[in-house]
């Protein structure tokens, strides 16, 4: 049984890898290959679940292999299969198969036909890895794959302004959720003193024993899990990104933001429910977020002029109700609710193009204007105010911009004196001075030594802010984002348990990816004038291979699970003491914001309308 389970998990990754080598212009071969392989996976998974049910529905835990073994950390890939996994896996396989069938005709003669199916298979592989995950580390690998494929599918029409802009917005919100996952993993290591698996979380006595005397630490983990789940499932105050994600093709909107990806925040809460269900404060917060989202989502959805936006906010409201159901302890009901909502939203999104054409004809021939009221009562004024708030989506975008993104830019603009002329003369000598201070810090007073890690982490974070706000020179931005990793290592080096091998393990991925990025930037800037980050330039049109290599370089520096940097992040966080919450927050913020800045670089240089006038360019409103 375990061998079959392993094949079912690996199969989507194998299909994705093979699909990369299919000929670009052979639509029948591409769609046929995906259709057949998805059908095989669906029927095999269904047969396995039936066979598993005949054996008495036993929970299966598979610890596959160790990625890294250290003194303080064991990073291993673990899989877990139970009833929750079965429901999510079967639902995902059925909907992915249906959308693949629909996409064969819908995307006929699209220039990115193969790219769509490649990205879709990578998404399905990440989804499978997430729902089969047996610990938070394995789940985070699939979580990151889903974030990347979200960005690529929303920006599928990469020669247009709005799809690329909204794809960047979606990725930014996802990265905020990543802060929650990273800090939850860090805190879990200190609470359990091991890489806890979901199988062990089922032991109520074990959970109760570790939470005794650590109530606040347990609440902190629950809050971080809620942050990650809210960002991924578009809950308040992150709800506004979901309708923006509908800029992608209808099939990707259906499978991502109607049915599967948007419900993975709920999956995270269901999977960790044995941990937080006995914490009343956590249940109140989860229920409160759900109630607020259900109210706001239903209100906004009723005044949207776009059918996709109406469906998106309808889905958001239903997921909010699922959060409430979980907070009340109705886990089985929430799972059934998920299945019904997933199939309904997929159907609605797939038929939405036809619905739009019917509604246009209906409104044209049977339009009845609303009566004009000359006098308004207080009730009418309250109703109109409520209507305007819903129409403005309760200003959620404005709030995020004012309290999250704009402060980052303002902090970065304070460091505008760092430019191409002095970036190396400022950052490298400053870092060398910091290394010297670290080496002689044992001679310093204790209180000075205790604040040095936070100071170094703050310097690295300020460099990230400068890169986030940078617009003129791409080499300055790239250098600052790489230097952030060196400051992070320096901040954690005060822990004597950190070894040279662990430092090199983390930085090796950064150096390789950073060098690749430098070569690509030099290649493009030597052939094109005016390459900067002031706007989208669309160079992927003429340099597709360079764009692919630069995307890989960005993912490597950001800590995507393709280099040692991903595991290195976990290694570094394992050396942060449990009472250094501020240091952990600074480093997690640095990792996350640098990822946003890196994807911003890729989007601004290679995506969007082309800067050259002899290429066709869509209007910004298109």
**Cα-Cα-Cα-Cα dihedral sign, residues 75, 599, 591, 474:** positive
Q: Residue 601's closest CA among 548, 528, 526, 551?
A: 551
Domain boundaries, the chain: 2-360, 414-606
CA distance 617 to 553: 27
Is residue 67 over pLDDT 90?
Answer: no
Q: What is the DSSP secondary structure assignment for residue 190, as one 8-state letter?
A: H
User: What's residue 260's pLDDT?
Assistant: 86
Categorize the per-residue pLDDT at 214 as very low, low, confident or very high, splitting at 50, 70 and 90: confident
Instruction: Return the axis-axis angle of helices 2-19 and 27-54, rounded to nearest 10°.
Output: 170
- What number is the average pLDDT over the span 378-391? 82
* Tokens read off for 192: 């359990």
Q: Which residues contact 277 (CB under 8 A, 6 or more apart)?
A: 283, 329
Whether residue 531 contacts residue 537, with contact meaning beta carbons closer than 8 Å, is answered with yes
Range of weakest confidence among 124-128, 350-354, 533-537, 542-546 = 350-354
- What number is the average pLDDT over the span 344-365? 73
Question: Which H or E run includes 360?
Answer: helix 331-366
User: What's residue 327's pLDDT?
Assistant: 93
Whether residue 509 contacts residue 563, with contact meaning beta carbons closer than 8 Å, is answered with yes
User: What's residue 523's pLDDT?
Assistant: 93
CA distance 446 to 439: 14
CA distance 604 to 554: 13
Whether residue 508 contacts residue 564, with contact meaning beta carbons closer than 8 Å, is answered with yes
- What number is the average pLDDT over the span 492-514? 86
Q: What are phi and psi of 444, to 5 degrees?
A: -85, 160
Highest mean pLDDT among 384-393, 492-501, 596-605: 596-605
Categorize the per-residue pLDDT at 513 as very low, low, confident or very high, splitting at 50, 70 and 90: very high
Whether residue 198 contacts residue 585, with contact meaning beta carbons closer than 8 Å, is answered with no
DSSP class per residue in 432-480: HHHHHHHHTGGGS-HHHHHHHHHHHHHHHHHHHHHHHH--S-HHHHHHH
User: What's residue 361's pLDDT?
Assistant: 62
Q: What is the DSSP secondary structure assignment for residue 237, as one 8-state letter?
A: T
Instruction: Return the axis-axis angle of helices 423-439 and 446-469, rounded to nearest 10°.
Output: 160
User: What's residue 288's pLDDT?
Assistant: 94
Angstrom distances, CA of residue 231 to CA of 84, 239, 261, 438: 21, 8, 11, 37
User: What's residue 572's pLDDT?
Assistant: 84
Model confidence pLDDT, tens digit, residues 117-133: 999 999 999 999 999 99
Highest mean pLDDT among 21-25, 240-244, 302-306, 548-552: 548-552
Q: How many residues does the chain have?
A: 622
Q: Is 138 helix (H, G, I), strand (E, B) or coil?
A: helix
Give residue for tokens 């970036």. 423
CA distance 77 to 65: 6
Distance of CA 301 to the CA centre of its chain: 24
User: What's residue 622's pLDDT?
Assistant: 46
Angstrom distances, CA of residue 54 to CA of 58, 528, 559: 10, 64, 42
Is residue 105 over pLDDT 70?
Answer: yes
Q: Which residue has the higher pLDDT, 222 or 362?
A: 222
| pLDDT, averaged across the chain | 85
Is residue 261 over pLDDT 90?
Answer: no
Is residue 64 over pLDDT 80?
Answer: no
Model confidence pLDDT, tens digit, residues 150-189: 888 888 888 888 888 888 888 888 888 888 898 888 888 8
HSE (side-chain half, CA atoms, 13 Å) at 429: 5
């Amino acid at each position: 049984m375990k061998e079959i389970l392993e094949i079912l998990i690996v199969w989507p990754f194998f299909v994705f890898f093979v699909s990369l080598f299919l000929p670009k212009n052979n639509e029948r071969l591409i769609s046929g290959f995906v259709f057949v392989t998805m059908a095989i996976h669906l029927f095999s998974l269904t047969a396995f679940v039936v066979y598993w049910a005949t054996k008495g529905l036993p929970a299966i835990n598979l610890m596959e292999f160790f990625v890294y073994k250290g003194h303080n950390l064991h990073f291993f890939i673990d899989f877990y299969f139970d009833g929750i996994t079965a429901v999510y896996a079967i639902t995902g396989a059925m909907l992915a198969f249906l959308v693949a069938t629909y996409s064969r005709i819908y995307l006929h003669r699209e220039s990115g036909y193969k790219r769509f199916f490649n990205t879709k298979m990578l998404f399905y592989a990440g989804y499978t890895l997430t729902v089969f995950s047996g610990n938070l580390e394995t789940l985070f690998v699939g979580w990151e794959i889903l974030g990347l494929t979200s960005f690529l599918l929303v920006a599928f029409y990469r020669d247009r302004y709005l799809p690329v802009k909204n794809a960047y917005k979606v990725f930014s919100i996802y990265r905020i959720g990543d802060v929650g996952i990273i800090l939850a993993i860090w805190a879990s290591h200190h609470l359990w003193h091991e890489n806890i698996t979901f199988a062990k979380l089922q032991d109520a006595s074990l959970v109760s024993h570790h939470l005794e005397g650590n109530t606040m630490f347990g609440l902190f983990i629950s809050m971080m899990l809620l942050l990650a789940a809210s960002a991924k499932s578009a809950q308040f105050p992150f709800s506004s990104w979901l309708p923006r994600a509908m800029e992608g093709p209808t099939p990707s909107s259906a499978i991502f933001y109607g049915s599967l990806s948007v419900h993975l925040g709920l999956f995270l809460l269901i999977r960790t429910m044995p941990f937080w269900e006995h914490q009343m404060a956590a249940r109140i917060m989860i229920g409160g977020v759900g109630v607020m989202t259900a109210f706001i989502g239903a209100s906004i959805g009723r005044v949207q002029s776009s059918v996709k936006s109406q469906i998106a906010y309808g889905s958001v409201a239903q997921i909010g109700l699922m959060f409430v159901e979980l907070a009340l302890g109705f886990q089985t009901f929430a799972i059934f609710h998920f299945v019904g909502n997933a199939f309904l939203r997929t159907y609605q999104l797939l038929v939405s193009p036809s619905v739009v054409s019917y509604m246009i004809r209906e409104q044209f021939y049977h339009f009845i204007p609303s009566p004009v009221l000359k006098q308004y009562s207080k009730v009418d004024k309250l109703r109109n105010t409520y209507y305007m708030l819903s129409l403005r989506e309760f200003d959620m975008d404005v709030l995020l911009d004012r309290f999250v993104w704009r402060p980052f830019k303002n902090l970065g603009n304070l460091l505008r004196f760092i430019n191409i002329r002095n970036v190396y003369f400022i950052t490298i000598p400053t870092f060398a001075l910091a290394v010297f201070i670290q080496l002689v810090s044992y001679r310093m007073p204790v209180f000075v030594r205790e604040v040095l890690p936070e100071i170094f982490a703050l310097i690295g974070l300020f460099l990230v802010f400068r890169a986030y706000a940078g617009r003129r020179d791409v080499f300055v931005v790239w250098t600052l984002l790489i230097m952030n990793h060196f400051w992070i290592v320096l901040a954690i080096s005060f822990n004597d348990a950190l070894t040279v091998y662990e430092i090199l393990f983390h930085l090796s991925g950064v150096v390789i990816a950073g060098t690749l990025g430098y070569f690509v930037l030099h290649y493009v800037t030597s052939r094109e004038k005016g390459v900067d980050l002031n706007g989208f330039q669309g160079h992927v049109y003429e340099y597709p291979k360079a764009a692919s290599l630069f995307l890989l370089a960005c993912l490597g520096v950001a800590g995507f699970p393709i280099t040692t940097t991903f595991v290195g992040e976990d290694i570094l966080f394992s050396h942060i003491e449990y009472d250094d919450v501020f240091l952990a927050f600074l480093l997690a913020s640095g990792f996350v914001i640098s990822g946003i800045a890196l994807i911003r670089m890729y989007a601004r240089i290679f995506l969007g309308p082309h800067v050259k006038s002899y290429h066709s360019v869509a209007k910004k409103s298109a």
